[in-house]
Structure 1
Amino acid sequence: MNNREKIITRVQKELIGPGSDLFECSDKVNFSDEIIADKPLLRYFSGILYPKKNAIDDFPEVDDESDETPIEIAEEKNDNATASDNNDIIQPVISKEKEDDKEVQYSASTFFPSQYGISFAISKDCPELKIKISFGNYKKAKAKEIAIEYEGDSVELIEQYELDKFVEFDAENKLLKQTKELNKKEKQQRSSCLNSLKKDHRDSGLYKTLTKLFFKDKYKRYENKIETTISIQDIKKSDNQHYRILLSNIDGVNTEDWWKGVINKEKTFITDHLWLHVKLYDQPNNIYVVKIFLENTLLFPHTKFAFSKESLNMACLFQTEIKVETPYLQPFNDYKNNLYKSDEDRMLDFLYREKLSYGIGHNTACTWENCDDDTQKPRWVSSTFLPQFNVKNQSTNISSVDKKCLEIKELSEFNNNKKTIISNLEKLAQSYSKWIDEEEKIKLLNEHDRLLGLNNIKKCRTIQARMQRGIELLETNSMAFHAFQLANTAIYLQMFQNQWHFSKKKDGFEPFEIIENPQLSYQEYATKDYPDPNNTPRWRPFQLAFILQCLPSFIDENSNDRNLVDLLYFPTGGGKTEAYLALSAFLIFWRRLNYPDSYGGVNIIIRYTLRLLSAQQFERATKLILACEFIRKNHTDLGNERISIGFWVGGSTIPNKINNDQNCAEQELQKVQDRLNKNQPSINPFQLSNCQWCNTKIIGKTQPNVNPSIGHRIYKKSLKSYCLNKNCFFSENNEGLPIVLVDEDIYKNPPTVLFATVDKFAQLAWREEATSLFNYNGNRKPELIIQDELHLLNGPLGSLVGLFENVILSLCTTDNQKPKIIASTATIKNVEEQVKGLYNRPVQVFPQYATNADDTFFSKTILESKRRYVGVLPTGRTQTMTSLRLNAALLFARLEIWKDSVDKTEADQFWTIVSYFKSLKHLGRFSNKIIAELIPEIKQLQVRYLMNVFPFNNNYSKLPYRNLELTSRIPNERIKKNLDKLNISFDGNLEKYQSFDIVLATNMISVGLDVERLNIMLMNGMPPNTAEYIQASSRVARKNEGVVFSLFDPNNTRDLSYFEGFIPFHKTFYKQVEPISVTPFAENALDKMLFTSMIAYFRHKMGYSANNMATALNENGNKQKLMSEFNQLFNNHSFADEEDKQVISTIINELIQQWDNKIQNSPKDSLFYYGGKHETERKKNLLKSVQEKEKTDDKLIGMQSMRSVEPSVTIKIKKF
């Protein structure tokens, strides 16, 4: 059993059972006769079939004794899930929380399923169904049945302390056994003897084992396996084709250990209330749908429905399972969903037609034989409360493509054989063409499928033609070929440096403070071997193909492809970033070679939506820019202006001003220096912790026994960054790092690559200096816009971005030049409408499916799998309770791995648990329970397994200090530091380790988080959309085997539905992604963003950017010109219908009129776009912030972010 299986098995044992205790049982494999030191309802959280609740109050109990709990053993006290589990009465509670789910919410105590089952399909010639039912029921164990393994240490103390009357040691079988049932007096004598042992040997294994053996009532499991065969004819003869039978009436069933009790003064037998139902439904195509379910019809008094009640424990079935065997199983389809499907949904059905489902659950999940392999027809279908599915890996290895063709160094300028390079590129395009030919030959079953396939193949041929065109241009255009080689050289250098200086495998040390080893000259890279000879840098075929198909967009400005949005669609971790960074490098070099007099300013805009994503991706982009600059310094034909990158984000992320402002760069640097002088740890406020060329820390020691130095300084009113390594190419003596971090510097010296968040662009309406970003100084406009994680631009954010994008594209466009747009994502749906709403352009998705979702030529689904999904549905517990138990089980499982491993560092693979929450509210609720409830939970688990001793107790003792949060409420300066902490591995030393135990996260981790050591995740509830579920869960198992536990809320109908169809959903979850909605011309979007867009256009497109030029509206016919030009932006928009255009025109007129009124009503020269927070007679603001909205009646509100944020309100509690 590998480590992943150990973790899943531990979760199954703790949440469902059996196998959750140390007591001896005869079945050491399946624990079918286990003995536990709890009532089973207090121990298990799922897989339970309850009786029905009733309002009857009169219910005498049958021998419902209290558990013995020794006062002398504090660790054993209250070994239950949470305090709430001990409530005498479990009441349904209606929640008033409405933040996340529209449905009415109930506490999970309302979900006590008294029936559950599965539905599946069979052919109509099926004669009969073989049904197997299994479950466990529990009864109080007898003393002589209770034993526990013990090696025999100090057993002589048993007789010495007169405990031999109560326990005996079986030396042959290594067991401690109770000898007899004890009366009250004997129990007191036993406690007295044990207290004497405790006084002298409290830390001994014998004392702890005897404590476990003696105290608390024990419950024994009785296995029930029932088999029956039901003919289809018998079902059809039943009323409404509904066959039912009592389990007790099935031949061969032994009911001796089934519960018998008294309800309402009448004897009641569970045997009269356990029913098996089989229902048959006629379907087209010679199919029956069969629904089989178990039902417990026993009416149990509501007032006695408590987990501590022994009678309720006896009336429940545990570890329940229904299994049906038949060779006549057929794929199961939800026929109702086949109606009214969109063209895209029909296409997806066609592509995923070979992904077969054979059943669905009802209050449970459904699984079947070989559920991971669609090539084999199953012979059985079964219910399960712990469904598992291995999501297949995607392979990018193509046997028909020679690896030599893909070697990056061979495509760089370190290879001067152009003919060979072109030939190798041709081989890639030809291999793709042959694959398309083969796909076209595939015989499809019907005309509908054939037409869908041909439509896809036509798109594939378009891609192949674009690749071919790119190769032809490289062959015929020497300047383009040179730029292509330089781009490959940059990628190679970046990867070389990364492997040489950033690889953790190198000599086993982490990123260091200072290095003095010399760096290589440019020429040495041509001859020096790659640092890892077994991992020669190669393009994945899809990356190189994407680069080739996009090249004509840059080389040929008249190409129709220039207006096309090229969307790179590939699973998370596939290498999308490297592909578009290579295109960025190509454009940088192409502009410098082809336009030596106008290449300057911003060439490329790269935009992200989340802070976490931008922080990590900025480092990756910076590595490439440093490589490009290194190349420039060694090529005289690439110009004198440095190739640079700028980080243009909000002031809460990085200082936006050099000085004379709160939290300006000068002040932040001084704070860092002050802390360093006091030997205090300091957080780098500039999001740049290491030199991205040689990995030397930006804040570090240059000599022993001296205070650390800082690789930032203010020079001539600018922030200069440099590497502290004097031998580095980017040291202070070598001009430093070409990185621009502060807004003032970005405006003064626009970087080659502008790296930004989408929110920042709203500042165009507020900042006159931002005009410089669009190169109004004779340089060419920005030519490439890259939007990573396109799927995040949806809903309100996508709508506001889509509206404002009209202005950005206008600012990047001249009469003969428009920007190219490249986007990337791992999840798409309705992408044509989304791109139309965002950019008013057509889109081409790459790579393109042909006839099957498993093969695009550039990627193939293979049988291997790194990531397994495991579903969990609590029964009778809240989701929060279950999350605590599940986290405890995972923390205990990693301890077991550590204990059993020879190499203790092996546990690192599953040491840090990522716990995902769909909102801050849910995360906060759990975070507050770590100390009060999670630590006691894991502690009790270790007590149960006699592992609550040193060093095992270090597994939880520092949990409050070893949990990390990655959410939007974390200060920006801590985000980068937290990411670095996640990379700290568990070193195998349980006594003292630095790695984190739990990471609490929200959707911030859905994109951009790439930490190879993370391999275990808990999804607490289904996220708002499938895309987020896929993206977030893909953060684990990126390199090694991993597991994602999906914990569903049974009282949320959406969650329950996903659990019931767990395996069908995970087989096709890329197909299940919900359509993305972008409505840039909705009323709310126009109200919030239209005026902001208008001001940005007037200032930066029409040339009136200076802050004191707000009155220029009334000059030179500007009012009519603005009205005409701004209307034209939307009149040409394909997403806007005639009604939208009329509404927009009306609003534009009203806004311009209000603007004009403000000019007329303001003293001369007193109206500014924005002159500051405090207005005076001589300084009035045209723009009002959202926070000022309540103070004004006009509509001239300017958004400062793309987020739809209303003013916050402070509430003071006067009396509590």
Structure 2
Amino acid sequence: MSIERYYEARELLESFFRRDLLGPVQADEVISDTWPADYYICGRLFPQDVELKQEDMEQNLMDDDFEGSDQSLNMCYSVYPSSMAISFSVIAGETRLRILASVARYIPMEIETESVRRKTIIEWHRDFTSRWIDVYTDRKYQEIELVHGLQLRVYLQKVYDDGSRTLTVAMINIFRKQMDIISNNAATFFQPKIQVFGEEEGKAVFIEKRMRVSLGKDPELLNLEMLYRHNRTFAVGHGCSAGWKSSGVTATEIFTEFLPGYELFQMKPASHVKGEILSFEFLGQNSSEVVSSGLEEMGASYEKWIEHMRLEIPTLPERYRTVASGNIERCVETLTRIRDGIHVLAENELAFKAFQMVNQAMLRLRLQQGGAGNKAGHGWYPFQLAFILQQIPSISDPLNPYRDVVDLLWFPTGGGKTEAYLGLSAFTIFLRRMVARRQGVPGGGVTILMRYTLRLLTLQQFERASGLICACELIRRENPGILGDEEISAGLWVGGGLTPNKRSEAIHSLQTIKREGFEALSEDEANPCQILRCPWCKNAITPQYYAVSADRMVVSCPNNLCGFNHGLPVYVVDEDLYDHGPALVVGTIDKFARMTWEEKVGRLFALNSNRLPPELIIQDELHLISGPLGTIAGLYEAAIDEFCRQDDVKAKIISSTATIRNAHSQILNLYGRDFRQFPPQGIDIRDSYFAEEAGASERPARKYLGVMAPGTSGNTLLIRVYSILLFSTRNLKASGFPDSVVDSFWTLVGYFNSLKQLGGAVNNVIDDVHGRLKYLYETKFRGAFPVGTRPPEYPEFDELTSRKANSEIGEILKRLEVRFPDPRAFDLILASNMLSVGIDIGRLGLMVLQGQPKSNSEYIQATSRVGRQNPGLVVTMNDASRSRDRSHYEQFLTYHSSLYRYVEATSLTPFAERARDRALHAVLISLSRHLIDGLRANSDAVRVRVLHNRVEEMIERILERVRVIDESEVDGSREHLYDILAHWENLASTDLVYQKYTRQQGIPLLTDRFNSDGDAIPTLNSMRNVDVECDVILEG
């Protein structure tokens, strides 16, 4: 199917959208069934009203010196706006501009019906006006009457030293508010538009808008400005959005927009690297000499690109050259690391064998799961292969200087980050097994900790990782002589409400499920049946294929031809993970709070055993580890870092994200380490060598549309937007588009910033959207469907939120993959921010957001859930009463053309006083319990006095970390740690235990009740909810 058909379908959706909300449906239309101001809800200039929003124009307009700002601009921001305006800058010497102003009114006419019972009705006839006007750039103020009741006003805002100047052009309805609804509608103007040109046709006279933004001395902000320097802002709207036609550094036309749009192009694999060197088969079958030679060619190509970028630096503006040079040096460092990795493959037999096995495993997985084409057609993206190459030295040599550096994999959402670090995981597992086999020591146990923030995402990624683990296990079975006899397996380690903690719990739950079904499980009962289909052959797995033996729960594939018919190499019961130590543990970061409570958690780190500790830690979605969660996580990382250490060698840490700012500070506070970003940026965001911007025909582009409807409630706007999009997607089939195209837009994803917002939408969907759809079918767009077509019944919808049980969420995700024309396909799915984190349903192509999300990072993450496989459409409904929404709407083009530039910096302060109060004791107790012989068992808590000196050693380890992260907190942390120790020793005079399991046990050191009056220390069971709850008593 040609991608052009998807773009054509999207254009049809956008056409209906504009005609319904802004108009006109027809150029010479007559409206007879409603008021014009209800017929169209965007682009209305109402009669002047006294009710104005008292907002600071400086804040809303973002930039310029509005000398003697006119009330006409304030009227842009009234509840019922009477004006619209646009500000822009023109070059020196351009004294005259040409403006094309257009607008429509609807003229009421009384018409007598021809029915038996004659009555008078009002018809509204569209009256459109378009007029060319010459204005002058050297006049302080100009006023022109466009039509009766409507003025065009031009303000000269500022003249700069170079002779350029900033102007504002406003269109104002000067009618006063009328006393009756007919007169008010007749005095309202619709579909207003301002287009500004130079005096000479086609001449580029508009220059970048002057913004009053001080970058200060922040090199990161300066670097972002340099990288996005080609994305210029030529105008800002007031009460509307602004658009332009640009030829690079200048623009030939400036215009207003009420439904602004921007097409965001995806990144594609770099064209610099092509051919067999990316092929799994080539890399997995050829000799080290042949492979190393091919990889060296990639290194040489990267070096050539770097030198070309270096030669470009002198052509940059002076203020960019220092940061540009810094970027190039980081590229050189990356090149050196890649070449070091190639050298290791050439010289280290085991490392090369592990690398071959990785490629063989990836190829097997692709072919097994329906990959099309021949073997040579499957391979890496350039950035994935380069990333693995640069990590090989620090994985194969524990003393490599980059072992202690956090490598941050930064790539746009949907670009393939997961495959990159899964490939590295397989390399680490294979190499560890082979090295251990050669040295005659155990090579099994937990090798990789892969962590996520949300349980839903963790489940999805566990399924993806399990497929590769199955491929690795098949290779191990074929090579036991070098990989050993212990299976390569994966384990799921998440909160107790999702998976069982013990096998006895799994037995009870399985009996209930097999006897009465999933719905029979109680709300607090964990579900052991987390694997719904075989990760290798994709056959469905029912509860009948789950069984609990003496030492594990076994999940078998029902397919007799599958290599895992007798048991999958996966574990989902906590007790099984502790007993078997799967090579890959996929878990939620909050689960690590259990380190303080449970002795068995230490087994995941091979503590007090002859196994090796984890060697690789992968933290996905790093941008989410911020704020309160990040602060608490930063404390617990102090313990995790120590648990993974062996003979002063730490685990390698990989993080990944598509949206992050201030990464240096975040990673330092979280991990106490330096970091490197991969791929490093060059001098242009559109080309980092490993990836470059793709055209619309090369990769599906995502179209963003903005809508704001002042004078209309948020609920009404939601009903109108949902209705017209559902109407137009149903029209695709009637317009002759194939099912695959219809399916990509069939399911509308509604995204909400709060559960309260979403709850209100549910009622609207049930009633009002259905009624509006009927009106669109039968009245407003009558004739769009073949005669006799009936409006659809109530939309098939559900919600994807934390209000749903985990089992329900799994079923919803499964059903979301059902495609049109299957009647089970959802018409609509309403989602909270749960959707923004890692949900990957390729068929989704249509989303509506109610309001701008709280952060730009969330906006990027949420909207990138649609339009992954095929072109997508995202509509943002902006609330005119919220200044942030209005700002994004008025600068829609500026914002979306540099989307990743506006990601906010995050912060976390793990050793600040309030954070220490919350969890510092948990870190000290965890370290002491798991690293000191004699303190591990529950009853050993009482022995702290005897082991006082060893606990002091743990205190010093924590203080070492504080010195690295924030030296100013060392004294406070030391005092706090010794207070904790003193309290612990004071309690140790009794029959002290870490936690009470029965009433007969002694005094507990830990409690999960944060409002407890006892001596036990309130301690987190999870990092998911880190805020303290309090009771409020209302009297009277």
Secondary structure of the corresponding residue to residue 980 of structure 1:
helix
Query: Is 1:1151 matched with 2:996?
Result: no
Match of 2:73 in 1: none
**Distance in 1 between the 2:596 and 2:789 partners?**
57
**Residue aligning to 1:441:** 311
Taking structure 1 as reference, are residues 675 and 1125 closer, same or farther at Cα in structure 2, changes over 3 Å only? closer
Q: Secondary structure at the match of 1:713?
A: strand
TM-score by length of 1: 0.78
2:110, 2:122 within 8 Å by CA — same for their partners in 1? no
Residue 394 of structure 1 pairs with residue 238 of structure 2? no
Listed one character per residue, the Cα deviations across residues 648-669 of structure 1 (whole Å, up to 9, x for unaligned) are 001222222222xxxx211221
Partner of 2:801: 967
Worse-superposed segment, 569-578 or 1191-1200: 1191-1200
Distance 1:653 1:940, change over 3 A: same
1:1212–1:1124 Cα change, 3 Å: closer
Q: Which residue of 2 aligns with 1:171?
A: none
Partner of 1:610: 454
Q: Tell me, in whole angstroms, the C-alpha distance in 2 between the residues paired with 1:949 and 1:1059.
A: 33
Of 910, 913, 931, which aligns to 2:745? 910
1:359 maps to which residue? Answer: 235
Structure 1 position 142, deviation (Å): 5.6
Structure 1 residues 1197, 300: closer, same or farther in 2, change over 3 A?
Answer: same
Q: In the superposition, relative to structure 1, how do residues 110 and 612 fare at CA in structure 2: closer, same or farther (>3 Å)?
A: farther
Q: What residue number does 1:207 align with? A: none
1:1108 aligns to what SS in structure 2? helix
* CA distance in 2: counterparts of 1:1214 and 1:687, whole angstroms: 47
2:483 to 620, 626, 638: 638
User: Superposed, which structure 2 residues align to 1:712-791 within 5 Å?
Assistant: 712-732=546-566, 736-776=567-607, 777-791=609-623
Deviates more, 1:1206-1215 or 1:476-485: 1206-1215
2:36 corresponds, among 40, 47, 59, to 40
Residues 758, 1212 of structure 1: alpha-carbon distance in 2 compared, 3 angstrom cutoff: same
Q: Deviations over 1:827-861 (max 9, x none)?
A: 12100111101101111001111111111000111
C-alpha distance in structure 2 between counterparts of 1:688 and 1:678, whole Å: 17
Q: Distance in 1 between matches of 2:54 and 2:746?
A: 36
Secondary structure of 2:242 counterpart: strand
Deviations 1:331-390 (A, max 9, x none): 3344311353511001111111111121111111000125xxx64843110010111111
Matched, 1:1012 2:853: no
| Secondary structure of 1:293's aligned partner | strand
Using the TM superposition, name which of 591-600 and 783-792 deviates more.
591-600
Residue in structure 2 matched with residue 231 of structure 1 by the alignment: 136
After superposition, the Cα gap between the structure-2 partners of 1:740 and 1:904, relative to the gap in structure 1 and judged at 3 Å, is closer
Q: Distance in 2 between matches of 1:955 and 1:393?
A: 36
Unaligned runs of 5+ in 2: 1-6, 56-75
Q: Partner of 1:648 in structure 2?
A: 493
- Name the counterpart of 1:6: 12
Distance 2:451 2:630 in 1: 13
**Higher CA-based Rg:** 1
CA separation in 2, counterparts of 1:714 and 1:1068? Answer: 53
Equivalent in the alignment of 1:1121: 950
Match of 1:1168 in 2: 993
Return the match for 1:189 from 100, 106, 117. Answer: 117
Deviation at 1:291, TM superposition (A): 1.2
Q: What's the CA shift string for 1:619-652, capped at 9, x where partnerless? A: 1100011011000000021001111110000122
CA distance 1:634–1:232, change in 2 (3 Å): same
Letter in 1 for 2:541: I
Q: Give 2:47's aligned residue.
A: 51
Single out whichever of 777-786 and 814-823 deviates more from structure 2. 814-823
**CA offset digits 1:404-446 (Å, max 9, x no partner):** 111011111xx24332111111111111111111111113233
Gaps of 5+ in 1: 20-27, 56-90, 95-107, 144-180, 192-214, 236-240, 249-254, 256-269, 501-530, 700-708
The change in CA–CA distance for 1:860 and 1:480 in structure 2 (over 3 A counts) is same
Q: Is the 8 A contact 1:615 1:976 kept in 2?
A: no
Alignment partner of 1:463 out of 334, 346, 370? 334
Q: Does 1:920 align with 2:755?
A: yes
Deviations along 1:462-515, one digit per CA (max 9) or x if unpaired, are 000000000011101111111110111111111111126xxxxxxxxxxxxxxx
Change (3 A) 1:1113 1:953: farther
The 3-state SS of whatever aligns with 1:353 is: coil
Q: Do structure 1's residue 1192 and structure 2's residue 1013 form an aligned pair?
A: yes
Q: How does 1:475-874 map to 2 (within 5 A)?
A: 475-499=346-370, 531-533=372-374, 536-596=377-437, 597-635=441-479, 636-659=481-504, 664-675=505-516, 685-699=528-542, 710-732=544-566, 736-776=567-607, 777-864=609-696, 866-874=701-709
Equivalent of 2:153 in 269, 273, 276:
276
1:709-735 superposed Cα distances (whole Å, 9 cap, x missing partner): 622101115211111112211112xxx
- Structure 2 Cα separation of the partners of residues 744 and 1040 of structure 1: 43
User: Is residue 831 of structure 2 the alignment partner of residue 1001 of structure 1?
Assistant: yes
Give the CA deviation at 1:948.
12
1:1070 equivalent in structure 2: 900
Work out whether residues 33 and 222 of structure 1, in 8 Å CA contact, stay in contact via their aligned partners in 2.
Answer: no
- Change in Cα spacing, 1:904 to 1:492, as seen in structure 2 (3 Å) is closer
Change (3 A) 1:32 1:340: farther
Q: Tell me the CA shift for residue 1205 of structure 1.
A: 4.3
Q: Which residue of 2 aligns with 1:299?
A: 176
Deviation by residue 1:93-126 (Cα, 9 ceiling, x = unmatched)? 99xxxxxxxxxxxxx9962112221111111211
Label 1:1093 to 1:753 Cα distance change in 2 as closer, same or farther (>3 A). same
Residue of structure 2 equivalent to 1:245: 144
The DSSP-based 3-state class of the residue aligned with 2:849 is: strand
CA contact (8 A) 2:429 2:447 kept: yes
- Report the aligned-residue RMSD: 2.8
Contact 2:446 2:582 in 1 (8 A): yes
- In the other structure, the counterpart of 2:81 is 113
| Cα separation, 1, equivalents of 2:444 and 2:520 | 43
* Aligned mate of 1:1088, from 901, 904, 918: 918
Partners in 2 of 1:775 and 1:1098 — Cα distance? 16
Q: Name the residue aligned to 2:70.
A: none
Query: Does the residue aligned with 1:337 lie in a helix, a strand or coil?
Result: coil
Q: Distance in 2 between matches of 1:1214 and 1:619?
A: 52
Maintained 8 Å contact 2:529/2:546: no
User: What SS class does the counterpart of residue 126 from structure 2 fall into?
Assistant: strand
* 3-state secondary structure, aligned to 1:53: coil
Pair 1:1181-2:1004 in alignment? yes
Q: What residue in structure 2 maps to residue 1131 of structure 1?
A: 960
CA 1:896/1:949 → structure 2, altered by over 3 Å: closer, same or farther?
Answer: closer
Alpha-carbon spacing, 1:1053–1:931, altered in 2? closer, same or farther (3 Å): same
Q: Offset of 1:33 from its aligned partner?
A: 4.3
Q: How far apart in 1 are the matches of 2:39 and 2:470? A: 58
Q: Does the 8 Å CA contact 1:895/1:952 hold for their aligned counterparts? A: no
Matched residues in 1 for 2:799 and 2:369: separation?
Answer: 28
CA contact (8 A) 1:247 1:276 kept: no
Question: What does residue 817 of structure 2 align with?
Answer: 983
Change (3 A) 1:109 1:861: closer
Q: Shift of the alpha carbon at 1:8?
A: 0.9
- Please report how far the alpha carbon of residue 1027 of structure 1 lies from its aligned counterpart in structure 2 after TM superposition: 0.8
Answer yes or no: is 1:1031 the counterpart of 2:861.
yes
Match in the other structure for 1:149? none
**Contact 2:704-2:876 within 8 A present in 1 as well:** yes
Rounded to whole Å, the distance in 1 between the matches of 2:215 and 2:901 is: 17
Q: Does the 8 A contact of 1:1151 with 1:1195 survive in 2?
A: no
User: Matched residues in 2 for 1:109 and 1:359: separation?
Assistant: 18
Q: Would the aligned equivalents of 1:740 and 1:746 in 2 still touch at CA under 8 Å?
A: yes
Distance, in Å, in 1 between the alignment partners of 2:892 and 2:228 is 17
Alpha-carbon distance in 2 for matches of 1:765, 1:285: 66
Going from structure 1 to structure 2, the CA distance change for 1:618 and 1:18 (only over 3 Å counts) comes to same
